[in-house]
Structure 1
């Protein structure tokens, strides 16, 4: 088992070998699935995996040796340098330690025993590729390293998954831009707030749904003729229920809604009307 602050001693041969065989394995796809059983005879080789989508998954059965996973957007753009990568291990992920590899220098991201917690870990795309090294085993019991990944832009609310995200109000410009660019935009009220260990879960009732990237809000049946859903946010933000109508905006990460800008609706209307008169609105919103 590697220590929490590992050195490159045993890993350096693998890194150097990888530099010589950079084209050994290449796949321009969203997801990858492989098995260490096909790798058994040459466990010191390091395979290169290329995933070029905004989101996808990896599953490595019976891990042996190491693989390097290069996560890149499928389009070349100056904005790509500002992307972050978020990784969410599955609950049964095991068998490897995961590092960030930047020019042969490794930084521990996830120990094997940490992966089963299923927590989201994010890092700048410029911090390097994922270096995933199998933990040596004397038994042949089945182990699988598996995770989902997403590339996250730096638009307002994109870092809402972080427990250290600030709870400060959005600026006027950020608020107007969030309505145009965020994954969901909805008008409604806060029905309940549940404080959990790592985040707050805000139950909302939606009177007007402008947009949602995926179905994080669902339409009620006969008794509840409105959209309802749950939005997560850092636990220290102190949001409370029953405080009027809001315009909720935010991002969707791994199928979960995270709060971005959430002004009171009357404040948003005043800001939006002022911007309309000045001709500075970045997009049109139907406020009727």
Structure 2
């Protein structure tokens, strides 16, 4: 009887061990399962010299790679709309980032390239996707973090079916009254104020408008943990807004209505009508996508 009890206990323990081993074996390993998320990805390490795929389907988001080793292949897409896009990234950390082409890789970021870390590095997609090859710097010994923010502007077509490129020259064109209403509704910040200075920033290929805020007309609260770098804008009397260098922004007199969107953590100008022009547009427009304030 004692022998039978001992045999039963041994068999029971072996069964438990087999179940445990099966469960551990069945668990997916971090290195061979593609990482899929809608907007962002956070991970660590890597598969040695292997490449880990990451698939993202949002217009903006963040890749946070701790203790980087090997490489990531980050695939950006236009989601269900399948639109081509102009993408921009802002990267920090020990890595090199390449844009994947047909049989080629074009370097768009390296920590040692001498360019400012806040520079927006932009590219156009080939069709509906763009693939970024993010290679860890082998000299960093895996003790740092790579942070890659991305922002996609989906391209549109005019009435003749011609592609409208979302380039810097197009951003410099004054907004029509109809565009003002749409831009107001889509902006992250709309504020009245005076431009106290225009500072040239060749290191980030932009100029910065220094705006003294007199009134905030619209403010979208950020929900992404990677987007706010400039503090609480409601409490600020002076803010900085980026304008492409190609626009040749100048210091103007009077009060303006500044409309801006957050892009890679920085406020970028979308429209800047004078207060009188904006007030006239609000009076004349019969309809608008949202409630307009002046």
Q: Structures share a fold, TM > 0.5?
A: yes
Hey, what does 1:282 align to over in structure 2? 289
1:186 aligned to 2:188? no
The correspondence for 1:239, drawn from 249, 264, 272, is: 249
Hey, what does 1:117 align to over in structure 2? 116
Which deviations, in whole Å up to 9, do the C-alpha atoms of 1:97-148 show, x marking residues without a partner?
322235655333334523863122123453521122346x5x6744646123
2: distance between equivalents of 1:145 and 1:50? 20
2: distance between equivalents of 1:193 and 1:108? 31
Contact 1:83–1:153 (Cα < 8 Å) also in 2: yes
Structure with the greater alpha carbon radius of gyration: 2
2: distance between equivalents of 1:46 and 1:251? 34
2: distance between equivalents of 1:164 and 1:63? 39
1: distance between equivalents of 2:170 and 2:272? 14
Contact 1:185–1:212 (Cα < 8 Å) also in 2: yes
Q: Count the aligned residue pairs.
A: 239
Q: Relative to structure 1, is the Cα distance of residues 113 and 164 closer, same or farther in structure 2, using a 3 angstrom cutoff?
A: farther
Stretches of structure 1 that go unaligned for 5 or more consecutive residues are 1-21, 221-226
1: distance between equivalents of 2:111 and 2:199? 30
* Structure 1 vs Structure 2 CA RMSD: 3.3
1: distance between equivalents of 2:155 and 2:275? 21
Which deviations, in whole Å up to 9, do the C-alpha atoms of 1:22-81 show, x marking residues without a partner?
973224262222214xx23xx2x32212234431232252423x32112346xx432x52
Hey, what does 2:35 align to over in structure 1? 26
Contact 2:171–2:270 (Cα < 8 Å) also in 1: no
Hey, what does 2:90 align to over in structure 1? 88
Aligned partner of residue 257 in structure 1, secondary structure: strand
2: distance between equivalents of 1:155 and 1:185? 24
Contact 1:162–1:234 (Cα < 8 Å) also in 2: no
Q: Relative to structure 1, is the Cα distance of residues 177 and 275 closer, same or farther in structure 2, using a 3 angstrom cutoff?
A: same
Hey, what does 1:77 align to over in structure 2? 80
The correspondence for 2:64, drawn from 58, 67, 85, is: 58
**What TM-score do you get using the length of structure 1 for normalisation?**
0.69
Q: For residues 205-284 of structure 1, what are the structure 2 equivalents within 5 Å?
A: 205-213=212-220, 214=222, 217-219=233-235, 227-241=237-251, 243-276=253-286, 280-284=287-291
The correspondence for 1:133, drawn from 132, 135, 139, is: 135
Q: For residues 6-25 of structure 1, what are the structure 2 equivalents within 5 Å?
A: 24-25=33-34
Which deviations, in whole Å up to 9, do the C-alpha atoms of 1:201-244 show, x marking residues without a partner?
22212222122234562425xxxxxx431112123534344511
Q: For residues 196-211 of structure 1, what are the structure 2 equivalents within 5 Å?
A: 196-197=201-202, 198-211=205-218
Q: Relative to structure 1, is the Cα distance of residues 250 and 81 closer, same or farther in structure 2, using a 3 angstrom cutoff?
A: same
